[in-house]
Amino acid sequence: MAAVNLRFAPLAGCLLACTPIGPSSTPAQPASDPPAAVTPVASDARTEPAPEPEPEPAPEPTPEPVSDFGVLHEDLNAHYEEETDVEQWRDRFEHGPREVRFKQPLILKEVGLAKGDRVADIGAGTGLYTFPFAKAVGKSGRVFAVDVQDYFLEYLQAQAKERGLTQVRTVKATQTSVSLEDGSIDVAFLCDAYHHIEHPEPYLKSLHAALRPGGRLVVVDYAKVEGATAFIQHHLRDSPDTFRAEIEAAGFRFVRSADFLDDNFLFVFERPKAR
Ligand SMILES: C[S@@+](CC[C@H](N)C(=O)[O-])C[C@H]1O[C@@H](n2cnc3c(N)ncnc32)[C@H](O)[C@@H]1O
Interval 19-27 mean pLDDT = 31
Burial class (CB in 10 A: 0-12, 13-18, 19+), 12: middle
**What residue owns the CA closest to ligand 1's atom 15?**
196
H or E segment to which residue 217 belongs: strand 211-222
**What residue owns the CA closest to ligand 1's atom 1?**
192
Interval 5-12 mean pLDDT = 34
Has residue 64 been placed in a domain? Answer: no
95 vs 41 pLDDT, higher one:
95
Spatial CB neighbours of 117, under 8 Å, sequence gap ≥ 6: 136, 137, 141, 142, 186, 187
Q: Residue 100: what pLDDT?
A: 97
Has residue 1 been placed in a domain? Answer: no
Nearest atom of ligand 1 to the alpha carbon of 121: 6
**What residue owns the CA closest to ligand 1's atom 22?**
123
Has residue 209 been placed in a domain? Answer: yes
pLDDT in tens, 111-144: 999 999 999 999 999 999 999 999 999 999 999 9
Burial class (CB in 10 A: 0-12, 13-18, 19+), 166: exposed
> From the CA of 125, how far away is ligand 1's center (Å)?
5
Has residue 67 been placed in a domain? Answer: no
**What residue owns the CA closest to ligand 1's atom 4?**
125
CATH of residue 134? 3.40.50.150
pTM of the model: 0.79
The DSSP line for 186-197 is: EEEEEES-GGG-
> From the CA of 239, how far away is ligand 1's center (Å)?
19
> From the CA of 170, how far away is ligand 1's center (Å)?
13
Counting other chains too, the contacts that 268-273 makes at CB distance below 8 Å and 24 or more residues apart are: 268/110, 268/216, 268/217, 268/218, 269/216, 269/217, 269/218, 269/219, 270/214, 270/215, 270/216, 270/217, 271/208, 271/211, 271/212, 271/213, 271/214, 271/215, 271/217, 272/213, 272/214, 273/213, 273/214
Backbone angles phi, psi at 154, to 5 degrees: -65, -40
**What residue owns the CA closest to ligand 1's atom 27?**
125
Pocket lined around ligand 1, Cβ cut-off 6 Å: 17-18, 77, 80, 93, 100, 122-125, 128, 146-149, 152, 173, 175, 191-193, 196-197, 203
Has residue 185 been placed in a domain? Answer: yes
**What residue owns the CA closest to ligand 1's atom 24?**
123
Q: Which of 170, 196, 261 to mutate to test the pocket of ligand 1 (most atoms within 8 A of CB)?
A: 196
Q: Which domain holds residue 239?
A: 78-270
Nearest atom of ligand 1 to the alpha carbon of 100: 8
Has residue 8 been placed in a domain? Answer: no
Q: Residue 87: what pLDDT?
A: 96
Spatial CB neighbours of 40, under 8 Å, sequence gap ≥ 6: none
Q: Residue 224: what pLDDT?
A: 94
Has residue 232 been placed in a domain? Answer: yes
Share of the chain above pLDDT 90, in %: 67
CA 242, chain centre distance (Å): 16
pLDDT in tens, 150-171: 999 999 999 999 999 999 999 9
Nearest atom of ligand 1 to the alpha carbon of 93: 9
Start-to-end Cα distance in the chain: 53
Q: Residue 67: what pLDDT?
A: 52
The DSSP line for 19-77 is: S--S--SPPSS-TTPPPPP-PPPPS-TTTSPPPPPPPPPPPPPPPPPB-SSSB-SS-TT
Has residue 188 been placed in a domain? Answer: yes
Domain count, the chain: 1
**What residue owns the CA closest to ligand 1's atom 13?**
123
